[in-house]
């Protein structure tokens, strides 16, 4: 299943298995220039956070991509 904003940009992508059970969901955030600034991944039917990637752009470089930062979910051990 795909969801798009008013400008036609993909904002949500959901992957389901054969029995329509949600396996994975990506949520995309865009800036006013329609550039992706964040992609968040969730897994399972309860949307367990699985990490994100952030993108930053250089405004003085004609909005070229300047940084890509990947985050993983926090893992705690006892």
Q: Which pLDDT value is given to residue 16?
A: 86
Which residues, other chains included, contact 2 with Cβ-Cβ below 8 Å and sequence gap of 6+? 10, 12, 13, 14
Residue of 62 and 26 predicted with greater confidence: 26
What is this structure's pTM? 0.80
- pLDDT interval class at 74 (50, 70, 90): low
pLDDT tens-digit series, residues 33-55: 999 999 999 998 889 999 999 99
Domain ranges of the chain: 2-71
Q: Which pLDDT value is given to residue 51?
A: 93
| Token pair 């992706």: residue | 36
């Amino acid at each position: 299943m795909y969801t798009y904003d008013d400008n036609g940009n993909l904002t949500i992508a959901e992957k389901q298995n054969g029995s329509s059970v949600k396996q994975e969901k990506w949520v995309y955030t865009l800036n006013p220039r329609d550039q992706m600034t964040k992609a968040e991944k969730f897994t399972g039917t309860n949307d367990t956070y699985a990490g994100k990637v952030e993108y930053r752009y250089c405004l003085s470089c004609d909005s070229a991509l300047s940084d890509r930062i990947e985050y993983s979910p926090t893992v705690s051990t006892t």
